[in-house]
Chain A
Amino acid sequence: MSDTAVPDVGNSDANAAAAAADAMAATLAGGADERLAYRGVFQRLFVRPEIGAIVGAAAIWAFFWAVSREFGTAGGMSSILDVSATLGIMAVAVSLLMIGGEFDLSSGAATGTFAIITILLVKDVGDLGGAGLSLWIAIPLSLLFALGLGWINGMMVERTGLPSFIVTLATFFVLRGFKLGFSKLIIDNLTVGRISEAQGRGYEFWEPIFATVWIRNEHQLEARDAIYTIGILGGLALLAFAVAELNFARRDKLNPGGLPIFGAGVAGVIAGILYMHNSDGVSANSIAAAIIGVAGLAAFVGFCMWRYERQEAGSLQLDASVSKLLAAGVIASVLAMAFAVVFDVDSQEPVLDLVGALRWPFVIAAGAYAAFRAFQKSAGDSNTQSQTLINVSSIAAASAFTMYAFMFMTTEQGLRSILFGVTMLAGLILLAIAAGNAGRNSPITRGLVLTVFSAVLVALAFFIRSQSASVKFRSELFSVLLVSALVFFVWAVCSTMFTQRRFQEAKADGFGTTLAQVGGAAIAVGIIIKLLFTTQAELDAGIARAGFRISILWFLGFSLFATWLLGRTKFGSWIFAVGGNKQAARQVGVPAARTKTQLFMIVSVAAWLVGLLLAFRLDTVQSVAGNGLEFEYIIAAVVGGTLLTGGYGSAFGAAIGAIIVAMTKQGIPSARWNSDWRFAFLGIILLTAVIANNFIKTKAEESR
């Protein structure tokens, strides 16, 4: 968390005010300060600029996981990360520049430029150029070129006062011309190679730094799945405790009565896991799962009893705002399952032609609309809940039609998936909204709605297990649904029993944040180990080769560096300041021109890094390399929550945005869809992301 240095939202004036407030909070934070209202863990997460991107990334991944066979595999992940890495390094740098209020349209062409410069410097072609230098000289020299390009871009923007859009558009064309011109002039070819000609001149040293590939199939670790399971479960548990610590009010005095329950629960979970490990078969697994579920609930409730303040549960108030949405949610869920039963899962028969296709969703949408109008009339009001119902069902009908018509899912099987998926999702969303509304009535009301939500998830899990044609859904999705159901039920119980904290408390915040970080790290380690290593069993099954490139590490490192730069340094605050309001920033002593020039230099150095990654990876580079990719960088930054107008955004979000763009690129061939639709898909993702980010930003400003 970077609360002290980075304001979450707002233009520079708001930033300055927020920074002052945060600084005050830091100085005052000796103990609990009751004057400072506490926004709660979810509200605090909600106003982060990157939250929309994270949720979006999870949704897109889940979507492609469901429709393709590659997304859940190590090979699929390696391809996604491979594309994300070079795109992401640039997107992160570009997001810093965009937060600083400028664009760099030369950034795409620059990646290829520095690759070509480096290769031409090491190439020995005689008279015209191709100096035949050692990489020890060529690499720093091309870095100098990169710094120079950034400096020129920055200086020209500052000195001419022209929009950076125009200035860097000009540098883009110049670079594009230089790439073509010099390639042809020096080696008379549009394919510039090879950097491996620098063998004996530093190639052996630099090649592993930029081009190492970790071949998964060559690294076995039989303990992999154990580490993975422990990492994920332990991490989730830590995250749960972190949420409790951040969300509930601590007792003045600990209640030892909770400890035995906690201990018994933990023992139960361990016993359940051991039982599952040592036994076999579906029924034994179900018994073990039930034991783990109940014990986990007990452990968590025991922990909370020991540590947190109890509260009055209040009385049950199922008013119209809750009951209507609750009923609609349950009905939609049941309807979804009915669709899945009625339509034949094995049928590849095209059920409807395109004209018919227009009819069906229309009939469904019209029917739903009429039903809700009638429902609304009988309730005798025209309040927001009815509006919510209509909105959710219209969106559901529209998405169903879109999928049907544009993704060519025109068989009975396809129609079944669409109707089931969309209706079920609509049902769950309605229930989630109901839970949100119920919280305003009383804790017990919310607890009840959350319990219903959890019950629907359990029903869904078993329904999918019995009905789905896909093994992936019957096993993995089943487990995920059951775990989510448990999480929601635990939350239902605990949010009913314990008091939500209303005030900041430095100790609890610090401890909770640490817990969350350790938990997140444990989950990450579990996933990384699972991705990097294979097992004998997998090899025996003939699993496809998968390799992870070192560029992913560069991407990770650069994203962390940029996040630190933006969040923890004075330079980071200057970036927000010059992007928000340059004049105001100048007046308070921020060196605006220098900051912007340095941002342009960061972008061109990132382009240099990406250029070297490309050169060592491909050995030969095309003179067109990188041309036109600058818009992908901007898209990734915007999808990641960076504002086009500057002054707001997140480097980490841009990294996630790059992963989203990479997933949309990889998802279409993975799902074996027609690639003609790829750009339409990218456009829809971009539009959705911008609308969602805008919505979040508005909400964030409201909550301040």
Chain B
Amino acid sequence: MKNMRWLAMLLALVMVAAACGSDASTEDAATGDDDAAETADDSGDEAVEATQGGDLTFHMITHSDDGPFWSVLKRGAEAAAADVGVELVWQGSNNDAAVQAELIDAAVAAGSDGIAASLPNVDAVAPGLKAAVAAGIPVYTLNSGANDFQELGATTHVGQTEVIAGNGAGLRFNDAGATTILCGRQEPDNGALIERCDGLAETFNGTVISEFMDLDADQAAQEAAINAALAANPDIDGFMGVGPVITMSGLRAADALGRDLVIGGFDITPELLDAIEAGEVLFTVDQQQYLQGYIPVILMYLENTNSNTLGGGLPILTGPGFVTGDNATAVKELVAAGTR
């Protein structure tokens, strides 16, 4: 009996290991193939012309989890590398700051010609990036790090700041003639989401009510909470969801109550694009992460080959870009192509 138990546990372990292993390897293989194919094709075209750039190797080291968001960013970086004919090493750390720090140290040691890094956890990666700056390697930050890049000595930051994104959304709501907006958050205590609502309140001419409306993990409760907030306040004539899922919950709640709201959202999902195309949602804020991959590679190239720097010590903003009824169909095709 005791043997049986151990055997069962062992079997379970092996199965789990096998499942994880096959999962990871197939994924790597899949993406790996793509990369290989792409770079092979492109470098085939470019290798002849690229004389200076061909010797350069850039590292883009981020907290990427290889999800849909990051895969678009990665495609941007790869496209830029192909366009200018440099070699790009893409390294994601799946939100593990320690891994990211090691990768940065390794890139510095390998004598990289340019490092672009995201800064979800500044303290972990700061020593490595400072060492890179000290070694004369051009350093750029992307996606997150707008407040910290200067201190590290990075040339500039390419990304979107939450407050500015909210500002842009506020102007859109002004144009649409809304007077009171419910800014629904899908997390109670995420500072970035609160900043989006604060940014909205800065430029919006009317009232902004910023409230937590339950988690994305519980969409039914999220919709019901928005429903209650709308019913309790008849003045609300606009809704902004600071994520794509809560934006759709807001649309459903408004429909259920028969209320006609001006709805804006954040980020892109297929169903949100459909709703924008159908005219049910006015816009969504797009931080255009393709640019966050593309631009740093170009900037590193120019700094290496022509000693140019851009930004004047200020961050370069990739957002807010807006997807509205005018460009939703085009964006949809680009999403399918993997560049939005």
Contact = CB atoms under 8 A, between A and B. Distances in A.
Contacts of B32: none
B257 A545 contact: yes
B175 interface: no
A545 B255 CA distance: 9
A670 B213 CA distance: 12
A474 to B, nearest CB: 21
Contacts, number: 129
B3 interface: no
Given A75-B231, A159-B5, A193-B271, A625 B219 contact: yes
Q: Chain B: interface secondary structure?
A: helix
B253 to A, nearest CB: 9
A547 B223 CA distance: 13
A160 B5 contact: yes
A83 B217 contact: no
A185 B232 contact: no
Q: Which of B4, B5, B217, B223 has the most CB of A within 10 A?
A: B217
A112 interface: yes
A626 interface: yes
B9 interface: yes
Contact-residue size bin, chain B (C-beta under 8 Å from the other chain): 35 or more
Interface in A61-93: 68-70, 73, 75-76, 79-80, 82-83, 86-87
A184 B27 contact: yes
B16 interface: yes
Interface residues of A, number: 57
Interface stretch (A362-370, A675-683, A695-703): A675-683
Contacts of B312: none
A544 B225 contact: no
A675 B224 contact: no
Interface in B255-294: 256-259, 269-271
Nearest to A112: B217
B211 interface: yes
A189 B224 contact: no
A545 B217 contact: no
B228 interface: yes
Interface in A217-268: 217
B116 to A, nearest CB: 24
B215 A628 contact: yes
Interface stretch (A137-145, A395-403, A478-486, A614-622): A614-622
Interface of A: 68-70, 73, 75-76, 79-80, 82-83, 86-87, 108, 112, 156, 159-160, 174, 177, 181, 184-185, 188-191, 193-194, 217, 544-547, 614, 617-620, 622, 624-629, 662, 665-666, 669-672, 674-676, 678-679
23 contacts: A76-B228, A79-B227, A83-B221, A86-B220, A159-B4, A174-B16, A189-B68, A189-B270, A191-B271, A544-B231, A545-B257, A617-B220, A620-B271, A622-B216, A624-B215, A626-B218, A629-B218, A662-B224, A666-B225, A669-B211, A669-B229, A670-B231, A672-B229
Interface of B: 4-5, 8-9, 12, 16, 20, 23, 26-27, 66-68, 71, 188, 211-221, 223-229, 231-233, 244-245, 256-259, 269-271
Given A79-B227, A82-B224, A675-B213, 4 more contacts: A70-B228, A70-B231, A669-B226, A669-B228
